[in-house]
Amino acid sequence: MSIFSAPAFDSHELVTFGRDEATGLRAIIAVHSTTLGPAVGGCRMFPYVSEDDALHDVLRLSRGMTYKSALAGLPFGGGKSVIIGDSRKDKTPELIRAMGDFVHSQGGRYVAAEDSGTGVADIRLMAERTPHVSGMDDNEFGGDPSPSTAWGVFISIRAAVRHRLGQSDTRGVRVALQGLGHVGYYLAKFLVADGAEVVAADVNQANIDRAVADHGIHVVDPGSILSEEADVFAPCAMGAVLNVQSIEQLRAGIVAGAANNQLATEQDGARLMDRGILYCPDFLINAGGIIDVHHQRVGSTEAKKREHVNHIEHTLSQVLTRADESHRETNLIAETLAEDILHSARSKPLAA
């Protein structure tokens, strides 16, 4: 395993490997940047096939967090952690507490939040060992930031529909939704309430049943959701879903979803553009969760939090307009915008 020459290595400030024999913990923390503040990012638990896969994931995810927080106007840097293991079989309270010790060893440079395979209960266990955690407060949703993520994605879909189809709401718009988990469930709810037609797929029957019972959506086979005839494809399951093969299958003119790292490679942004598909960059439109975490930390009102999440729509509109004007990929425009924010923070003189 190499680090500095790993394809996803991008001048990360720190990459730390954690091992605890007693609990079986094997984890990696990647801090991409602390330019704007402590590197806040989720702790993912996943049964990676290899340590290289885990490293690749944590490097890409942490870089995405830097861009996400910068574009969202948050005082956070970019970081992420991964635990190698199956959250349904390997997760024990002691393993999660050991992860808390590992997070603590970073001295506050990295702050852990929930992610796929971890939840608010795990963050509370880590908090027994470290104050450097976020997203565990009790609120209307029990500290879960997913409804805010879903809201940010929903208003982004609305903005993309306005940009591409010229209508102000999503009434009659057909959305193919991949994944009915924490985010997908709420996204379906917001879309249906706005008049959209939602067709969804998931590999988890309980999640399908819950969404069908609560929102009355249509369900299709997971294998056919990509090629579903729709106006919008909303990936809310896993990363790298947009690749050389899948982009050919897409029949929707807009892609806007919550999943992190949707583009398998940088070139996939160009592939989407070549096919005339409007891609809403994931790290821009799925920032609602991290914005929620920030407002939990500072103890804001729900109204203030919502106002901040709503700003995503403005930033996205700016990105879509610039992309049209310059005939460049939306993901590159959004990355440039984030780099500009980081650059001006770096060049600011230190306060006396």
The nearest distance, CB 91 to ligand NAD, in angstroms, is 14
Residue 238's nearest CA partner among 79, 61, 29 is 61
Count Cβ atoms below 10 Å from residue 211 Cβ, excluding itself. Answer: 25
SS (HEC) of 271-296: HHHHCCCEECCHHHHCCHHHHHHHHH
Residues of the binding site for NAD(+): 179-184
Alpha helices in 4-143 (DSSP H): 51-71, 93-104, 120-126
In sequence order, the 6+-apart residues with CB closer than 8 A to the CB of 100 are 125, 126, 127, 128, 129, 130, 133
DSSP states along 120-189:
HHHHHHHTTT-S-B-S---STTTT--HHHHHHHHHHHHHHHHHHHH--SS-TT-EEEEE--SHHHHHHHH
Residue 222 binds ligand NAD (CB under 6 A): yes
Our CB check for ligand NAD shows the closer of 35 and 149 to be 149
Residue 184 binds ligand NAD (CB under 6 A): yes
Our CB check for ligand NAD shows the closer of 68 and 97 to be 68
**How many residues bind ligand NAD, per CB under 6 A?**
27
Residue 15's nearest CA partner among 53, 56, 47, 45 is 56
* Pattern 123-162, ligand NAD, x by CB under 6 A: ----------------------xx--x-------------
Residue nearest to ligand NAD (CB): 181
- Options 118, 178, 315, 331; binder of ligand NAD; rule CB under 6 A: 178
Our CB check for ligand NAD shows the closer of 130 and 146 to be 146
With contacts defined by CB under 6 A, name the span among 17-25, 163-171, 175-183, 247-255 that binds ligand NAD.
Answer: 175-183
- Options 30, 196, 254, 259; binder of ligand NAD; rule CB under 6 A: 259
Calpha distance 206→226 (Å, rounded): 21
- Options 203, 244, 274, 324; binder of ligand NAD; rule CB under 6 A: 203
Question: Is 91 annotated as catalytic?
Answer: no
User: Which 3 state secondary structure label does DSSP give 340?
Assistant: helix
The nearest distance, CB 149 to ligand NAD, in angstroms, is 4
Residue 291's nearest CA partner among 154, 156, 183, 149 is 149
Site for ligand NAD in 235-254 (CB under 6 A): 236-239
**Which residue ranges make up the site for ligand NAD (CB under 6 A)?**
115-116, 145-146, 149, 178-184, 201-204, 207, 222, 236-239, 258-260, 286, 289
